[in-house]
Amino acid sequence: MSHKNIYVAIVEDDSEIRQLFTLLINSSPGFVCEHSFEDAESALKNIKKGAVDVILMDIDLPGISGIECSRKMRAIDDRIDILMLTIHEDDDAVFDSLCAGAGGYLLKETPPADVLAAIKEAYEGGSPMSASIARRVIHSFHAPVQSPLSERETEVLKMLCKGENYKTIADAIFVSTNTVKAHIKSIYRKLHVNSRGEAVSKAYKDRLV
């Protein structure tokens, strides 16, 4: 987009917070907020491709979550930068957001000037994060999760991550498709997931493959 201003959208169900951030952005030189929504569905319906540079996205939204909204929004326009703005500091929320395409992660306690700086940083290609969140991300690289999977299950999970189907996996490890299904069922149970997508996401997030 070729303009001086950074166009920001807000997706936040708390009307007071939504109004405060809208006011902050519109009263700051170089920033414009023409779009603010109380739920993900409205944002997905009304934000047109190319209309917004950066989205401030809450996680806890009625209906579709902010994480799922981020995933869908990135599919609509992969040039949009998404900053999660939330109260959540737990690892799952952080990594699920990043896996969904968020480029940064801020806590709602972030001072207004720092929010504006983060929007600018994201627009310029950075990945701004609150200090406590950045520490969690860095710590995750130093402390790999102990895998609950057997060697064979890990092998099957690696092939799932590559998009292989049951038959291809069965042929590769010289077992029946029923055996592969049993391995996958065990993988889902041990990782506490219910689908291939969730298993793949957890595999990368916890560095199990």
- pLDDT (mean) for 136-157: 80
* Both structure tokens of 49: 């491709």
User: Across-strand partners of 86?
Assistant: 107
Residue 123, phi-psi category: left (phi > 0), alpha (psi -120 to 50), beta (remainder): alpha
Distance CA 140, CA 71 (A): 22
Average pLDDT over residues 18-47: 96
CATH architecture of 151-205: Orthogonal Bundle (1.10)
Residue 83's nearest CA partner among 61, 72, 98 is 98
- What's the confidence (pLDDT) of residue 1? 43
- The Cβ-side half-sphere exposure at 3, using a 13 Å CA radius, reads 12
pLDDT of 145 strictly over 80: no
**Mean pLDDT of the residues in the chain:** 90
Compute the chain's Rg from CA coordinates. 20
| SS3 call for 100 | coil
Query: Helices (H), strands (E): how many in the chain?
Result: 10, 5
Q: What is the pLDDT of residues 82-122, one digit of tens each?
A: 999 888 777 778 888 888 889 899 988 899 999 999 999 99
Domain coordinates of the chain in residue numbers?
6-142, 151-205
- pLDDT computed for residue 144 by the predictor: 58
- Residues 6, 54: contact at Cβ < 8 Å? yes
Q: Domain 6-142: give its CATH architecture.
A: 3-Layer(aba) Sandwich (3.40)
